[in-house]
Amino acid sequence: MTHGTDSDRFSGDGLDARPFDGDAFEGGAALLHRRAIPSLFEALETQSEGTVAVDRDARVVWINAKYARMLGIADPAEAIGREVEEIIPHSQMRQVLATGQPILLDLMLFGTQRLVVTRFPLTDDDGAVIGAVGFVLYDSLHRLKPLLAELSRLEAELAATKRRLDEGRQPRYTLQSYVGDSPVCLEVKRKARLAARTDAPILLLGETGTGKELIAQAIHGLSARSGRSFVGVNVAAIPETLLEAEFFGAVPGAYTGLDRRGREGRFKTANGGTLFLDEIGDMPLGLQAKLLRALQEQEIEPLGSDRPVKVDVRVIAATNVDLERRIRDGRFRSDLYYRLNVLPIRLPALAEMGGGLEAIAESILQEIAARTGLPLRGLTPEAVEALGRHRWPGNVRELRNVLERACLLTDNRRLTAADLAEALPDLGDAAPAETARPAPVQQLVQADSQPLPGYDAAFDEFERGLLGRALAASGGRATEAARALGISRAAFYKKLARLGMRAGG
């Protein structure tokens, strides 16, 4: 078999033209292998900045002249037989010999230089390591600047992403965020401080919108775990088929469609920190058994795995349902309930806040102003009284909704009972109507009895002059004029229309 024949056999035309011959292919492959190894070695040796080979004892058996000059050796023969570390102090050739694994790309420090090197083991026909060869690919990093720049960019992106994830898993609320100084609020804060001292499970009880997650975050922030992740999950918001993987993770191939890297799970994400399980009463019975084991043994078993994984997680659970009734109905495990209910904290509904309601409303108004850019509003005494007469079935969420709507519907700096009634019609029955008490302008006239003859015309003239002066003082701007008079812009325009007047701007 001539060289020309072998060359033709491996050309594209030759492969297409001839039927496959197994023996000929094996012979050609062996020939190619014999030729490729010396050819590859020669190419690397020629293109590299230096080459060295060592035996199984890491003694130099060959070094090219280029590398010897770089190392300050006049004659390459002087290096033969010496241990590689004598001439290359930071060499990793001995590691390649010990492991039999190549080090494909590495940075090696030589003096003040940083060399880009690659190292390969050399084996005999039986696969035993008999030596190693190393190549200096570059003696300067400037050739790798594009690669290093891309590596630096990817590392920066990874660090920024990790930082954002860590920030997202830090609590946003503290105990100061739980506004209220009524006895029931102070008791909640007292129990939260006690709970932060231990790692015992906590069960937060209360209606929807009473601030259960806020208290959970506050407890985490006061605890020894404050520097680690706070991971919150709403059990009711996750499809039942995904709950087990969501909580405990899944190994690659556990189910169709799973990422090839598997799934970490919330317990693993919260490892070392706190896991907040909201709406725990909606957890399926089958999953409750696994949760109980995780709490008792501090270990989880990912979906598709038979090997438990140790975790260190403090669990805070919350519910707005009667768990004891669910136990009687067979929908919640009694043993899990007793494990979670080590330290129960009941959060009062808004209607139970008493005098604390005004402070909560003021805090919400400050948050609305900061978030929306609207002016900071206050509450009139009548508005506070109206708020206290409403039951607030939606608790703080409902109160926030009503106050924000009222802020959008009026320009009054202090929300009145009428403003609140417009935002929440149910308040209209309980709150005194705005027209039933004197308006700021009407307070200037006492009308304890029947109006005197000509009163209406005289009052219209007085009000016309008052509105006119307010407009003049504000440069014709109706909003500022209404604000100066202490009435809403809508009420101001109604008065203008009734009196046949127009704003100047």
What's the pLDDT tens digit per position in 208-249?
Answer: 989 999 999 999 999 999 989 999 999 988 888 888 888 898
The pLDDT value recorded for residue 505 is 46
Total H helices, total E strands in the chain: 22, 14
Predicted confidence band of residue 467 (pLDDT cuts 50, 70, 90): confident
Rounded to whole angstroms, the Cα distance separating 67 from 343 reads 71
What does pTM read for this prediction? 0.53
67 vs 33, more confident: 67
Which residues fall within 8 angstroms of residue 266, CB to CB, at 6 or more apart? 231, 233, 246, 247, 275
Query: Which tokens go with 140?
Result: 């300067």
Per-residue pLDDT, averaged over 23-50, amounts to 60
User: What angle do helix axes 455-473 and 478-485 make, rounded to 10 degrees?
Assistant: 120
DSSP-derived secondary structure letter, 298: S
Of 31-45, 170-184, 388-402, 463-477, give the lowest mean pLDDT range.
Answer: 31-45
- Above 60 in pLDDT, residue 345? yes
Rounded to whole angstroms, the Cα distance separating 117 from 58 reads 17
Give the per-residue SS3 of 50-114.
Answer: EEEEEECCCEEEEECHHHHHHCCCCCHHHHCCCEHHHHCCCCCHHHHHHHCCCEEEEEEEECCEE
The pLDDT value recorded for residue 272 is 93
CA distances to 341, 351, 389, 401 from 398, rounded to whole Å, are 28, 12, 14, 5
Per-residue pLDDT, averaged over 453-482, amounts to 72
Q: Are 299 and 193 in contact (CB under 8 A)?
A: no
